[in-house]
Amino acid sequence: MTYARLGVGMVGYSFMGAVHAHAWNTAPRFFTLPLHPELTLLAGRNAEAVTAAAARFGFAETTTDWRTMLTRDDVDLVDVCTPGDTHAEIAIAALEAGKHVLCEKPLANSVAEAEAMAAAAASAAEHGVRAMVGFTYRRVPAIQLARQLVAEGALGQIRHVRADYLQDWLSDPSAPLSWRLDKSKAGSGALGDIGAHVIDLAQFITGEQITAVTGMLDTFVAERPIAASAAGLSATAGEGMGPVTVDDSAAFLARLSGGGNGVFTATRFAQGRKNAIRIEINGSRGSLAFDFEDMNVLHVYDAEEVAERAGFRRIVVTEPGHPFVAAWWPPGHGLGYEHGFTHQAVDLVTALAEGSQPTPSFADGLAVQRVLDAVERSAATGTWLAVSG
């Protein structure tokens, strides 16, 4: 495989497909990449729809059978943007075929699947074939800065992580059933879809693991109109009602490996909160706070400062010295949601060229999956459970 170009085959072309394609198109225009991504092949079951999407996204060819890309020499990387129930099958097959894999989160719909995927990734890595899971919020510059600060010791010993992921698009009981509300497709509801993000962010920023949890799941609206069609998070209602088989809201208490504790919430019923990823971390030396609704800002408190002069510092994370920012605009010209995906593409391509392991790895994805699993089981038993692994 020559690395002058990086042929990308993508499976799926909905919300995640659109933003991944944008990232592949944009990354080489703003960053100097060691390989040039080419949008080679787009796979999807509906021939007409996949053709239209390919035209829009800039893919050269389409297929209605994702397995086609396994045998194409011009596809170097398979980008998995499908619902969770297909992640394991596609990713493992691709890795076994010697294709690098970028897989959307959550890694899988069960720990067993995630373990198989992590094992496949480990085997593939022996041959220089790499796998990455798409926890894209890690690459929001403010989150990168948060990680740097914790790694530098700016927070000291971590005492508390409070992390909420708040949306409201299911508050309306007439919002239709989409695949995200179907356990067989999505694995879980708010827990896996958005809770997975804050679990990963908490572990990424602190550099610690969640070691035990006790959780609480709720499904507030048990039946919804069956969806006729869907796009992004929205869908239009078709005929008849169907059961919601996933959680509408998840919350859990957690133990962290460094001795601190955590409190997590994920819900699609927080009226007025559209995509509020809120993380506050308190340590012995300081604190930090982030809200994705104001994504270009990180609030940092340094407890070593004189009390009368101390306060949460509102850092506008748009300086050239901030992670990824030099490639973009001058200070104060904020970035948006999709930039995290572009940064993800940049780091992935760089790792592939260097022959190093991109992060988050499938092992990281598995670690999140184990927390999701423990939350779900603890919610059923009403007890604390260790996060296995």
Please report, as residue ranges, which positions from 12 to 71 form the binding site for its own copies (by CB under 8 A). Answer: 15, 18-19, 21-22, 25-26, 28-30, 56-58
Piece of the chain touching its own copies by CB under 8 A; list 108-116, 179-187, 262-270, 344-352: 262-270
Of positions 232, 236, 354, 380, contacts its own copies by CB under 8 A: 232
Nearer to its own copies, 45 or 274 (CB): 274
From 46, 128, 259, 354, residue interacting with its own copies (rule: CB under 8 A): 259
What is the rounded CA–CA span in Å between residue 358 and residue 347?
7
CB contact at 8 A, 134 and 359? no
Select 124 or 163, whichever has its Cβ closest to its own copies: 163
Q: CA torsion 26→27→28→33, rounded to 10°?
A: 180
| Residues within window 320-339 making contact with its own copies, judged by CB under 8 A | 320-322, 328-339
Work out whether 230 is an interface residue with its own copies (CB under 8 A): no
Compare residues 214 and 369 and give the one whose CB is closer to its own copies: 214
Residues 119-178 binding its own copies (CB under 8 A) are: 145, 155, 159-160, 162, 164, 167-169, 171-173
- Would you state the structure tokens that stand for residue 131, as one six-digit string? 């796998």
Could you say whether residue 355 binds its own copies (CB under 8 A)? Answer: no
Closest approach, Cβ 45 to its own copies, in A, equals 22
Instruction: Report how many residues bind its own copies under the rule CB under 8 A.
Output: 97
CB of 73 to its own copies, least distance (A): 26
Please identify which residue in 80, 235, 251, 363 interacts with its own copies, judged by CB under 8 A.
Answer: 251
CA–CA separation, 280 and 160 (whole Å): 8
Round to whole Å and give the CA distance between 160 and 211. 14
d(CA 282, CA 271): 27
Site for its own copies in 92-111 (CB under 8 A): none
Q: Dihedral of the CA atoms 73, 77, 81, 83 (nearest 10)?
A: 80
Structural tokens at position 85 = 């129930």
CA distance 22 to 58: 9
Q: For residues 262 and 281, what is the distance between their CA atoms, to the nearest angstrom? A: 9
For residue 172, count other CB atoms closer than 10 A to its CB: 12
> Which residue's structure tokens are 């990824």?
324
Under 8 Å between Cβ of 229 and 235? yes
Q: Which stretch binds its own copies (CB under 8 A): 60-68, 71-79, 236-244, 279-287?
A: 279-287
Binding mask 286-305 for its own copies (x = CB under 8 A): xx----xxxxxx-xxx-x--
